[in-house]
Structures are given as structure tokens and as C-alpha cells.
Amino acid sequence: MANLLSLTQQFRQLYRKVFPIPCLLCGLATDDQALCESCIAELPVIQQCCIRCAIPLANAQICGQCLKKPPIQDISLSLYRYEQAIPRMMSALKYHRQIQLAEMCAQEFISYHTLATLPDVLLPIPLHPSRLRQRGYNQSLLFADSLAKLLKIPCRPELLKRIKKTATQTQLNAKQRHKNMRQAFEYSSSFVPQHVAIIDDVMTSGATTHEAARVLKRVGVETIEVWTIARAISHY
């Protein structure tokens, strides 16, 4: 078995030399990641943010909006500002089957965030069944699965179901987004974890994660975090 594994590794290395994986952004060859190290280093990492909604701030604290109207979740963590190359990356992950980006983002997320207390489970935002059939995969589940493997905690996508086929959020303002997401989710288990991290690709207005968090609070979840790859601010 050891010899077989060694041969497999050698074959992979040879394959990468003959057919190098191009960086999604610059096209240069990478070892086995979606992006080359140079492009990863240039991505707009959020250095300081509001601990409740992950809006970038000059200092780590609670933003004025969250002081005035605290969100349901207790903590929000995001990796990148939704600007520069990030919209292109998220589009590639979401619509163009560049699923290797999910694993890369999970690795970077963990390297940038100090996770003092881990949640009991990771809960990816679900797609409606019709949209899942159309797309073929759920990008939030891919990201959650990668995080779960790295952190060694369970990912439980079956706990939360999308029961309402919502309109695409892209062209909606914040108020319309919240209205669009009302009663979109249903909790479908008698098992209720005490500490959950909701996983999504991008947080914009927070309407999607707000509705998911509202459902979780209603069934008795005590601590809710929201983890996303990117944080947009245009609709806040």
C-alpha cells in the first residue's frame, strides 16, 4: 500500500509538471491550488471588522449600526472585502464550477482567524432543491465541508432546509432582500446544537444569514456565528 501511495504521488507530481494548473487570476502555473501564491497575497483581506456583522472598520469593535440594532448572530467573521478580484472569484466558484476555490478559501479563512471556541456544527446556507438541480452543487456547502475537514467538526447540511424558492438577490436593495428571504428556511431535526456557525459565500445585506439565524434562535440554538468568504458593503 505504501508503494502504491508513493507511485500515486509521483504520478501526480509528473502530471502537474506536464499539465500545470493555471492560476484562475493571472494564468501562471500553480502547484495544486486555485490561485498562485502571488495572487493570494494580493487579495483584500479584512484586517479589522465589526465583531457582530463583519463590516470592515478601522479598529476591531462594534459598528454604529450594530450598536443601534444588533443582529441576531453573536459573531460574524469574513475573510475578504468583496472588491478587486473577489467578485470574479465568487462568480467562478458559484456559477463556473471552480470548486477548488472553496478549499483554498477555507484554508485562508482558518489561517487568518483565531477561533478560540469552535462551534458544535457548521451549517451551510442551503439552496432550494430546484436551484440545486440547476447548478449541480452548493458553493456554501463546499466551503463548509472544507472548513469542517480542517477543523475536525461536523458539517450538518440536513438540519436546515430551503422551503421557499426566492428571487435572485443581486438586483435587490437591502429592504427588498430581507423581504425576499422571509420564511425561506425550515429547521428539520429534533437535534438542536447549542453553538452553530452558519456558512455562506458572501454576506451583503445580511438578509440570508439573518433569516437562517432567526430560525435557529427560534428552535433553541444559543450561540450563532456567521462565517463567510467575503463581505460586501454596497447594500448595508
Residue ranges making up the domain that contains 195 = 45-166+176-231
DSSP string, 198-226: EEEEEESSSHHHHHHHHHHHHHT--EEEE
Q: How far is CA 59 from the centre of its chain?
A: 23
Is residue 17 situated within a structural domain? yes
Q: Which residue(s) pair with 161 in the sheet?
A: 186
Is residue 236 situated within a structural domain? no
pTM of the full predicted structure?
0.88
Is residue 171 situated within a structural domain? no
Separation CA 64–CA 73 (nearest Å): 16
- Do 91 and 197 lie in one domain? The reply is yes
- Do 85 and 160 lie in one domain? The reply is yes
Is residue 180 situated within a structural domain? yes
Count of domains forming the chain: 2
pLDDT tens column, 162-218: 998 877 776 677 778 777 778 889 999 999 999 999 999 999 989 999 999 999 999
- Do 59 and 161 lie in one domain? The reply is yes
- Do 27 and 130 lie in one domain? The reply is no
Q: Please state at what angle helix 100-112 crosses helix 139-151, rounded to 10 degrees.
A: 50
- Do 28 and 54 lie in one domain? The reply is no
- Do 107 and 204 lie in one domain? The reply is yes
pLDDT tens column, 18-74: 567 889 999 888 877 889 999 999 999 999 999 999 999 987 689 999 999 999 999
The CATH number of residue 67's host domain is: 3.40.50
- Do 36 and 144 lie in one domain? The reply is no
- Do 98 and 184 lie in one domain? The reply is yes
